[in-house]
Amino acid sequence: MPEKIHYDDNIFFMTALIRTLNDAVKLNVDADYFADKVLEDTLFIDTSIQKSYGSLKENTHLIRRNSYLHSIMKLKRAYGRLLEDLLATEGAFAAPFETMRPKLRRIAACHLNDVKDIREGLEDVHSVKFDSDMISYDELNFLMSPMEDSSES
């Protein structure tokens, strides 16, 4: 595993791939040439999203973790829409995906479940009060009081 994961760039790259695949599926391209590549890229995106999400789940002390989780949630939603488009594809482009439909449905369900978990986790974080991190009036007063100079004694 790399020392530093570049979540922003990784998420941007995967989002761009999803957009490209969404556009490709809507074109009237020859399935013989492109269907295997679209399927390969679709499964690559699934693996990449899962790796990034798994890393975020493990790194609970990451500074911008909630922001990255929010971005992953949006990415998972966009990926779910791509999968829906692939599953709804008709004509010559649909035939190569026929055998993969059950797997694509399972992948889509997994990502939708993750979106739900992320949303609930982010809502829980925002609703928690951090009483232990709050400073009492006495502590604030002590911290703001001028320090005594020991040289005057």
Instruction: Spell out the per-residue pLDDT of the chain, length 153, in tens.
Output: 456 888 999 999 999 999 999 988 888 888 888 989 999 999 999 999 999 999 999 998 888 899 999 999 999 999 999 999 898 888 777 888 888 999 999 999 999 999 999 999 888 765 544 555 566 667 666 667 776 655 554
Q: What is the pLDDT of residue 50?
A: 96
**Residues for the chain: how many in total?**
153
Name 44's Cβ contacts closer than 8 Å, sequence gap at least 6: 17
* Contact by Cβ (8 Å): 56, 7: yes
CA distances from 66 to 23, 125, 143 (A): 30, 9, 30
What pTM did the predictor assign?
0.76
Kindly report the three-state secondary structure assignment for every residue of 110-129. Answer: HHHHHHHHHHHHHHHHHHCC
Tokens for 153, please give them. Answer: 């004694």
Among 14, 18, 35, 11, smallest CA distance to 84 is for: 18
